[in-house]
Chains A and B, each alone.
Chain A
Amino acid sequence: MNWQAIEWGAMLPELIVLGTSLLLILLDLFLRKTVSRRPLGFLALLGVAGAFSALVLQLHEPSIQLFHDMYRVDGFSKTFKMLLLIGTFLVLCLAYDAKLGREENVRGEFYYLILTALVGAMFMASSADMITLFIGLELLSVSSYIMAGLKKHDAQSTEAAFKYVVSGGIATAITLFGMSYLFGLSGETNLYSMAKALQETALPDQSYMLVFAFFITFTGLAFKIASVPFHMWAPDVYEGAMVPVTAFLSVVSKTAGFIFIIRFFVLVFMMSKGVNSDSLLQQVQPYIIWLSGITMLVGSIIALRQSNVKRLFAYSSIAQAGFILAAFSVFTPALFETMWFYLFAYVLMNIGAFAVIQEVTTRNNDTGMTSFEGLGKQSPWLALAMTIFLLSLAGIPATVGFIGKFGILIALLGYGGLHYVLAGILIAATLLSYVYYFNLIVQMYFRTGEVKEKRRSQKGLLIVTIVCAAATVIFGIVPNIALHFFYEQFSISTFLQL
């Protein structure tokens, strides 16, 4: 192999993020202790922005493969990397504002851990090999474990990190076990070669093992997206971690999990035969449907009884994972579009909501729902932004969340059969979600709270709320801009074969 023969330009976004994180590590290690680490946040933002522009430059180039088809830069990876980069940029803005108090000395580490996690997530989006997929997953997970426990002196944060590591380790082991079955059956690690090998072998005994492998891998990956059966870590970890970390876990990490799920399961299992002659992915649809339905219901019902905002949003994000899984259960080419758009909507509305949560909870030094009391009078703009995000999360028309949910519902209804039941559950879960989302709006506008001291204006908060609120409304009214972009970039044929 030749050094020059590889098109390094294709990996430019990842290389930029990686380079920035290494630079940040060096700066953080060798700057004097007394020097504030805040400016490093600008550098991190610059790195992400640079990677984003490198990605935009790539958009019109044809898809290519690197390293013996291990690494693909195709429409799928480009469009999903876009979401990851936007999400991380907004999270970094929040991290810039974060009040660390006693732990101010970890600020530098905080910034570069977000970047290394981003590199892992971007690798997952681009890799077409089980090994690189897994390494990307682990890079993301290990960075997240540390981020969850960054507040060393805070008992809750330490508990969160510990729970996250233990349950994450179990989930990883389960995923790997399932992957080992797939490797045993196909003898390949490359997803495309695996698909080919599994398609050719049509032994009846093997197909049972294949279904088993599917179940196991899916269960393990449920951890990353926080869906049933691996959802119980989410409330504790979300509550204990700092708000920017919570936002990262619930948005970027979840998006990366869905990227893994789409790439891995669609490629490997679409062509392989299940217990009878149908495609395996068609046959396990009832399983995905029930998991998605249960996830929505569990998330929405338990969220009704939460009094802590961060726990409330943890359950809300479980329910949202259920909605996105519902889109995955519809196995048509429209799957990519509905999932991408919903994740896009989710990035905007959820990070926006977390920005307001960060501001309100720091102001009150309390994460209870009551800290939102009287926000409408005190900071009308902040309350307005939060209202937009909540309406979007609930799926009210003229917001981007509505378009996303509408797309999923239409896809479900177009399929028929058991999907009608899932559509019913989706509507029921949405109705339930009105109760807890609107409860927050009631707190903001109809309760009077004591007047609290305002913090000086926060730059990160300002950027995030304005960008997210504007985008939530704009893409809610003219969603075609985003959908058009997706159609232009993504084509199912390049996803399946270059």
Chain B
Amino acid sequence: MDLTNVYQNNYLVVVIFLLLGILLPVGALTAGRLLRPYKPRKEKYTTYESGIEPFHQSWIQFNVRYYLFALLFVIFDVETVFLYPWAVAYDKLGMFALIEMTVFIVMLAFGLLYAWRKKVLKWI
């Protein structure tokens, strides 16, 4: 019985966080609305572009290349996440871990090779 209570209490924490997550933006925005002055002008409704006056429509085509770079970044990021603890504990882990790591890096290298041959690395 105790165990079940402990288990369910864990979910209570989740519920509290959920409520906090909902209430925080709602509260902040409502407070802002109550406190700020309301003086609309035409210029205030234009799009904010770092202080420069907007000169054309915002519906334009843009390059999704950054997304591919983000994906590639994930390959290397995951690699470091695993390599770092392995390097720290290298003396204790020994040969077996070295071979395992080699297999892991070779597998990731396949991903990089794939990206290279599919011309992901080329900036057009």
Contact = CB atoms under 8 A, between A and B. Distances in A.
B3 A203 contact: yes
A201 B7 CA distance: 14
A206 B3 contact: yes
A206 B114 contact: no
Given A2-B96, A3-B99, A30-B117, A206 B4 contact: yes
A184 interface: yes
Contacts of A25: 110, 113-114
Contacts of A3: 95-96, 99
A205 interface: yes
A186 B57 CA distance: 57
A22 B117 contact: no
B113 A29 contact: yes
Nearest to B11: A184
A185 B110 CA distance: 39
A1 B96 contact: yes
Interface string A6-43: 00000000000000001001100110000000000000
Contacts of B7: 184-185, 209
B19 interface: no
Interface residues on B, range: 10 to 19
A1 B3 CA distance: 35
A209 B1 CA distance: 13
Contacts of A184: 7
Interface in B1-60: 1, 3-4, 7
A138 to B, nearest CB: 15
Contact of A22 (B1, B95, B96, B110): B110
A247 B83 CA distance: 40
Given A25-B110, A29-B114, A203 B96 contact: no
A4 to B, nearest CB: 9
A205 B4 contact: yes
A480 to B, nearest CB: 44
Contacts of B113: 25-26, 29
Given A25-B114, A29-B113, A205 B99 contact: no
B22 to A, nearest CB: 21
Nearest to B10: A184
Contacts of B99: 3
A30 B95 CA distance: 32
Contacts of B114: 25, 29
B39 to A, nearest CB: 45
B115 to A, nearest CB: 10
Contact of A29 (B1, B3, B117): B117
B1 A205 contact: yes
A3 B117 CA distance: 34
Nearest to A204: B1
Nearest to A208: B4
Given A1-B96, A3-B95, A30-B117, A203 B4 contact: yes
Nearest to A22: B110
Nearest to A6: B96
Interface string A183-214: 01100000000000000010101100100000
A232 B95 CA distance: 50
Which of A22, A29, A201, A209 counts the most chain B CB atoms within 10 A?
A: A29
B123 to A, nearest CB: 20
Interface string B89-121: 000000110010000000000100110010000
A18 to B, nearest CB: 10
A205 B6 CA distance: 12
A3 B114 CA distance: 30
A184 B6 CA distance: 11
B109 to A, nearest CB: 11
Contacts of A201: 3
Contacts of A2: 96
A206 B8 CA distance: 11
Contacts of A206: 3-4
Nearest to A30: B117
B111 to A, nearest CB: 10
B97 to A, nearest CB: 9
Nearest to A29: B117
Given A185-B7, A206-B4, 16 more contacts: A1-B96, A2-B96, A3-B95, A3-B96, A22-B110, A25-B110, A25-B114, A26-B110, A29-B113, A29-B114, A30-B117, A201-B3, A203-B1, A203-B4, A205-B4, A206-B3
27 contacts: A1-B96, A2-B96, A3-B95, A3-B96, A3-B99, A22-B110, A25-B110, A25-B113, A25-B114, A26-B110, A26-B113, A29-B113, A29-B114, A29-B117, A30-B117, A184-B7, A185-B7, A201-B3, A203-B1, A203-B3, A203-B4, A205-B1, A205-B4, A206-B3, A206-B4, A209-B4, A209-B7
Interface of A: 1-3, 22, 25-26, 29-30, 184-185, 201, 203, 205-206, 209
The 3 A-B residue pairs whose C-beta atoms are closest, nearest first, are A29-B117, A205-B4, A3-B96
